[in-house]
Copies of this chain bind each other. A is one copy, B any other.
Amino acid sequence: MASRERIGLIGAGPSGMALLRAFSLAEKAGTEVPEVVAFERQDDWGGQWNLDWRTGADKYGEPVHSSMYRDLWINGPKECMEFPDYPFDRHFGRPVPSYLPREVMSEYIRAHMQDVDVRGQIRFGTAVRWVEKHDDGRFRLTAQDLVSGETVVEEFDRIVVASGHFHTPHVPQLPGIESFRGQVQHSSDYRSPEGYVGKRVLVVGSSYSGQDLALQLHRAGAQHVTTAYRKQPQGVAWPQGMDEQPAVQRIEGNLVTFDGGTSAEFDMILLCTGYLHHYPFLPKELALGGPNLLCPIGLWKGVVWHADPDVLYVGASQQLFTLTLLEAQAYFARDVLLGRVEVPDAEERQADMDAWFTRMTQIDGPPAALAWQGAYIQDLSSHTDCPAVDVEAVAETFLQMRDARIEDVRTFRDRQHRSTVTGTMAVAHHTPWMGAFDDSAEDFLR
């Protein structure tokens, strides 16, 4: 009898959790599954959702994983992130508002794991140092137990990388930034707004972090918040005390000049410039690189590493659908590993990757981006028994949110949306978001 296959899973955030759960459900249904051993640097699962008051280095001196902050509320309605097999109705037992604070969302993700017993497969507090493929085709994974310091060396047949891509900041060299006389912080190091109160703040970047943090600083009492966008204006109706400008052209002391020639003085700069794909434990030939894309380059179906299909990634794509996207990828990865999904030959993989990539390049706005990722999720799920998401309805909900945000960035989180799973309509929160400065689950659910 051949020995049981061994899978090394790197990371036990939402992606790794989804994979462990998918395997466990298959096993419960009578499928023989490989041995999956997960390595997680943190002491608990949950990945990004584990708020850490520290920045820079954690208690072991390892890079802090989470970039979340106090008063982080989800930036899209919860109805866009609902697990079809674990509706919010079941979790909360009653209708709740559409926008959840971090702690509440984190509890939901953890509660989704209730129906499986997989924590024993995870080596917590263990940092993967290096992975290499040997001539016999097996992988040797070297890790360190951060508590004991002991080296852990294990052999695996295949590797799944689920270490996330929101932990290592992309910190671009803005022209003249060395001359800036004030605090420069990347959003990954932002934890609370107090230092920004009364200040003239430049937020560089208008993606998720930039959108949310500009608003957080505004509501906390920054004197003025300017967001510099790279590609196109957000086009929202800015309240007094906020505005947007094109990209930073140069910085001279406290004076910042934007493309087009406008300039203004700032006290602080908050870099919301995104994150890098950073896999320092992988040799180049196995490591995903490039920008954050819906369709990461080099991954067949966004999951299987084209150059070596014994390496899979879960959660490496740019996220619109978030949790349900990760789940679709996790089920797909599981079924590749179980042999239920056949990995075609290189030529066919390349043709498929090219087709998806080409469609991605034709995206002309948020509706098309949502349609792309919806179709992608459906494609993945057509090969697996991943609980089906009504991607059109979710996309519609996202677009409602977007319209509400354009109308008023301050109030869009006070809107309520309907579950695409149960049809339940969300209820208003007890406090308008602009004045909600208690982000505890206790206060939210009172």
Q: Is the CB of B53 within 8 A of A284?
A: no
Question: Beyond A54-B171, A195-B183, is A280–B62 a contact (Cβ under 8 Å)?
Answer: yes
Kindly supply a per-residue 1/0 record for chain A positions 273-304, scoring 1 wherever the CB is within 8 Å of any chain B CB and 0 otherwise.
00010101101100101000000000000000
Q: Is the CB of B55 within 8 A of A129?
A: no
Q: Which residues of B contact A171 (CB under 8 A)?
A: 54, 56-59
Cβ of A438 to closest chain B Cβ, rounded Å: 11
Cβ of A247 to closest chain B Cβ, rounded Å: 18
Q: Is the CB of A182 within 8 A of B194?
A: yes
Q: Which residues of B contact A57 (CB under 8 A)?
A: 63, 168-169, 171, 186, 188, 276
Q: Is the CB of B195 within 8 A of A53?
A: no
Q: Is the CB of A195 within 8 A of B268?
A: yes
A173 at the interface (CB under 8 A from B): yes
Kindly supply a per-residue 1/0 record for chain A positions 206-242, scoring 1 wherever the CB is within 8 Å of any chain B CB and 0 otherwise.
0000000000000000000000000000000000000
Q: How far is the CA of A276 from the CA of B57 in the complex (A)?
A: 10
A61 at the interface (CB under 8 A from B): yes
Q: Which partner residue on chain B sits nearest A173 by CB separation?
A: B59
Q: Is the CB of A188 within 8 A of B56?
A: yes
Q: How far is the CA of A150 from the CA of B289 in the complex (A)?
A: 13
Q: How many residues of A contact B (CB 8 A)?
A: 51
A48 at the interface (CB under 8 A from B): no
Q: Which residues of B contact A58 (CB under 8 A)?
A: 171
A378 at the interface (CB under 8 A from B): no
A192 at the interface (CB under 8 A from B): yes
How many copies of the shown chain assemble into the complex?
A: 2
A382 at the interface (CB under 8 A from B): no
A43 at the interface (CB under 8 A from B): no
Sample of 27 A–B contacts (CB below 8 Å):
A53-B177, A53-B178, A54-B171, A55-B189, A56-B63, A56-B188, A57-B168, A57-B188, A58-B171, A59-B173, A61-B169, A61-B276, A61-B278, A129-B130, A129-B280, A129-B281, A130-B142, A144-B283, A144-B284, A148-B284, A151-B284, A181-B194, A182-B195, A183-B191, A183-B192, A183-B195, A194-B267
Please list the residues of chain A having a beta carbon within 8 angstroms of any beta carbon in chain B: 53-59, 61-63, 127, 129-130, 132, 142, 144, 148-151, 168-173, 177-178, 180-186, 188-189, 191-192, 194-195, 267-268, 276, 278, 280-281, 283-284, 287, 289
- Given A61-B278, A151-B283, A182-B194, 5 more pairs with CB closer than 8 A: A53-B178, A61-B170, A129-B281, A144-B284, A183-B192
